[in-house]
Amino acid sequence: MRVTRSRTGALRAATAVAAAVLAAVPALGGCSLRIEEAVCGGGSYPVLAVNSGGGDCVPDDEEPAAGWARYPKGKEPEKVGDEWDVYWSTRTLDEKGRIIELPEGE
């Protein structure tokens, strides 16, 4: 098939439009595309250090080790940066299970 000048111009225009759209997609999608990282992987749950900052994950079929505690029911972080993950970044539990503020810098 022979391409005429009018078709060549249309092909160039279509190619330019397609290139512009493809170039804009990452910039536009970057704002709405958010990858959420789970606090713990499947088969485990998050725990926090008693009287200290820090957290870990424990297999679902195990209890936390000494010095570690489950998060209070309904206040468990699920995704990194979610409401409860941020909340617990400045708090922990004491040995009686009360929520306490962490000293700054801990």
Domain coordinates in residue numbering, the chain: 1-34, 44-101
How high is the pLDDT of residue 35?
81
Contact 78, 88 (CB under 8 A): no
> For residue 17, how many other CB atoms are within 10 A of its CB?
10
Determine which helix (DSSP H) or strand (DSSP E) holds 13, and give its type and residue range.
helix 5-32
Strand order in the sheet with 55-59: 55-59, 44-49, 68-70
Q: Give the Cα separation of 46 and 58 in Å (integer).
A: 6
Q: Give the Cα separation of 43 and 81 in Å (integer).
A: 20
How high is the pLDDT of residue 7?
52
Predicted confidence pLDDT, tens digits, the chain (106 residues): 554 445 545 545 555 555 554 555 455 555 556 788 999 999 999 999 999 999 999 999 999 999 999 999 999 999 999 999 999 999 999 999 999 999 886 6
